[in-house]
Structure 1
């Protein structure tokens, strides 16, 4: 996978997407595509969170997720919502919290997108890889920087 650094170019591309006049779902899809391409992940989803449910806004990858909507208490994304922390599982076959999205997924990272003022989790960036142990601290840092940028985007809708 490529080195993940929040460089000026990527910051500018994310900012351009976020500030465009495109509809929300189109922006979210472009963001998921950019993150998947930049990082070499198998699949990336951008989700919104309310008190009861986690729902996909958009994704980039070979197919739609098996669970485009699910209870906010379920899966690795639900754990990220519950704790407000990044959840990394480098072998999903060993984690009972994993909701199978793709049978080929071996690693997953769920990064909370927090409200820019109150800090409550309002969204998730979810990335999956077909490789075990695919996610390193650099992925956590990179996707956390991206999540900071997305806080106002998720909150504005």
Structure 2
């Protein structure tokens, strides 16, 4: 079985290969969300919200229909943007102000997406399992996003 570090390293290399030579952000985020959906286990939604003015607007994703607009500072995604930090939530129902797009979701991880010094959105991943994301997932996904930010 592949260890977590190797898994995320392989996933990052796959993503970088997919976006190589393509400059369109939406096309790249679409393929990245498809890759993550294909490779990550025990998830029910993965995608991007992109910052437009003072709210996050639904971007490329895989999963059930989702909330279209999230104000900065609201919910897990909006808080991640406001504080520009990773949010790893073991039980979304215990998170004050959680925005429930899919009642099946139990845990969530959100990683800010920055181009240069500017936050342009977030990578959001939901799971139907409580405590699905651990420190290793967080480190792997932060590294994944960090490498992608260099080429997006």
Equivalence for 1:45: 47
Are 1:122 and 2:92 matched, yes or no? no
Q: Report the Cα offset of residue 95 of structure 1.
A: 1.4
Q: 2-side partners of 1:153 and 1:124: how far apart? A: 16
- 5+ residue gaps in structure 1? none
- Following superposition, the deviation at residue 84 of structure 1 comes to 1.3
Q: 1:3 to 1:59 in 2, by over 3 A?
A: farther
Q: In 2, are the aligned partners of 1:45 and 1:125 still within 8 Å (CA)?
A: yes
Relative distance call for 1:72 and 1:20 in structure 2 (3 A) is: same
TM-score, length of structure 1 as denominator length: 0.83
- With the length of structure 2 as denominator, give the TM-score of the two structures: 0.85
Deviation at 1:33, TM superposition (A): 1.7
Q: Say which SS state the counterpart of residue 33 (structure 2) adopts.
A: helix
The answer to whether 1:31 aligns with 2:32 is yes
Displacement after TM superposition at 1:31 (Å): 0.5
Moved over 6 A (4+): none
Give 5+ residue unaligned stretches, structure 2: none
Closer/same/farther in 2, CA of residues 153 and 98 from structure 1, 3 Å limit: farther
| Separation in structure 2 between the aligned mates of residue 58 and residue 94 of structure 1, nearest angstrom | 27
Q: Is the 8 A contact 1:107 1:132 kept in 2?
A: yes
Give 1:131's aligned residue. 129
Structural mapping, 1:1-157, within 5 Å: 3-5=3-5, 6-7=8-9, 9-21=10-22, 23-40=24-41, 41-61=43-63, 63-65=64-66, 67-116=67-116, 118=117, 120-152=118-150
Give per-residue Cα distances to partners, 1:39-94, cap 9 Å, x unaligned: 21221011222440111221012x121x1222122110111111111111111111
- Is the Cα contact below 8 Å between 2:46 and 2:124 reproduced in 1? yes
Contact 1:46 1:57 in 2 (8 A): yes
Aligned pair count reads 148
Q: Which has the higher contact order (CA 8 A, sep 6+)?
A: 2
Cα-Cα RMSD: 2.1
- Report the CA distance shift for 1:47/1:22 in structure 2 as closer, same or farther (over 3 A): same
